[in-house]
Amino acid sequence: MFEKVLIANRGEIALRIHRACHEMGIKTVAVHSTADAQAMHVRLADETVCIGPPPARASYLNVVAILSAATITGADAIHPGLGFLAENADFAAAVEETGFTFIGPSPEHIRLMGDKVRAKAEATRLGIPVVPGSADAVRNIAEAERAARAIGYPVLLKASAGGGGRGMKLAHDAAALAQLLPLAQAEAKAGFGDDSVYLERYLDRPRHIEVQVLGDGQGGIIHLGERDCSLQRSHQKLLEEAPSPAFDLPGLEPGPRERLLALAVGALQELGYKSAGTMEFLYQDDAFYFIEMNTRLQVEHPVSEMISGVDIVQEQLRVAAGLPLRHRQSDIAPRGHAIECRINAESPEDFRPSPGRVTEYHAPGGPGVRVDSALYQGYEVPPYYDSLVAKLIVHGATREECVMRLRRALAEYVIGGIETTIPLHQRIVDEPEFRRGEYDIHWLERFLKPAP
């Protein structure tokens, strides 16, 4: 096992990784920008290294600085967390070439699944249905129009090299396509350093269902069940739950959940996948369509941990050290229900970022309540990074119990000095359609739309 791991990330996910390492007796190195000198993971780590000024490109995306920090501290391995360099195949390869262990999949698998066009082609090869779309990236409006006519309007323009909604545009006709293509390409270039975009058919009422998988590269592949991530705003997830209530709605034929899980495990078994990963699908009219795979830890991984009892980060560490998975599929018996709310430092009305000093902080507690956050009273939320500041995760024996526990926990959560999305989450969990589990990926946009 590793003696020392460098955490190449920040915020709540850096603290999450630090905790997993310390529970395994592994020392940690926290790298940080000057803006994060007082961050909680920096205060708790065994060693710290400042790697640059606040802009991410000068610090958390600075490969040379990160590798230098690993060298001077004598780290054995580097955990990239999520975001930043987590799905950068060149970074993973550089880590390995410099003599460190990359805690994640192989550079080849990151490269294969990181390009959405190549990933869909690979999924098709593996027998997984995909959303109808362009076979290749479209380079100009003529190619885009030909692809759109073949697919049928409306179509989505999506960045080949990234996710999170950046570079994604919806075109209802050829005129809109001509206007939106250069905008999508510019956003893709700014967000991922690659302006390649592709087209995909737009589904009008799908659920966003994803499968959490773990592989050890030695033939061991397991799933930890599915998650429902359909509550999204501008393609950004706001609330996730496991298992998905979509498979428990009245009138649904039995079997779709089992088909989906078997599909994901079988595909990654053939790939010989190693580490944590997530296969994402759209689900509509009893049909699944593969959309992408994330070759990293997901923000929403705690809901899978809560229903399975598996520590995903610790499994990542073990697998990276050459050990097999501790669990077989027969060991995984999902229990109860879990929901995660992403708490962002934003206005709950118009989603304006709300950085600043946290003047009060009280996290909820009690049975079945978990908070993943690096906040504390007096902490200064910086304006330079993603606005996610906390994740509230609750677990209950049933979905109804889980929702009631979530209502109680949201009412207890106090974060003073900055605005957060807690009031919005409170509105959502009180909505009858949410309480019944009847929502799709467009539901939240409709819910937030002002009344005429």
Which active-site residues does the annotation give?
296
Contact between 397 and 379 under an 8 Å Cβ cutoff? The reply is no
Q: At what angle do helices 63-73 and 89-97 cross, to 10 degrees?
A: 30
User: The dihedral of CA 319, 321, 324, 325: what is its sign?
Assistant: negative
Strand partners, 339: 241, 394
Quote the CA–CA distance of 146 and 128 in Å, as a whole number.
Answer: 25
**H, E, C per residue of the chain:** CCCEEEECCCHHHHHHHHHHHHHCCCEEEEEEEHHHCCCHHHHHCCEEEEEECCCHHHCCCCHHHHHHHHHHHCCCEEECCCCCCCCCHHHHHHHHHCCCEECCCCHHHHHHHHCHHHHHHHHHHCCCCECCECCCCECCHHHHHHHHHHHCCCEEEEECCCCCCCCCEEECCHHHHHHHHHHHHHHHHHHHCCCCEEEEECCCCCEEEEEEEEEECCCCEEEEEEEEEEEEECCEEEEEEECCHHHHCCCCCCCHHHHHHHHHHHHHHHHCCEEEEEEEEEEECCEEEEEEEECCCCCCHHHHHHHHCCCHHHHHHHHHCCCCCCCCHHHCCCCCEEEEEEEECECCCCCCECCEECCEEECCCCCCEEEEECCCCCCEECCCCCCEEEEEEEEECCHHHHHHHHHHHHHHCEEECCCCCHHHHHHHHCCHHHHCCCCCCCHHHHHHCCCC
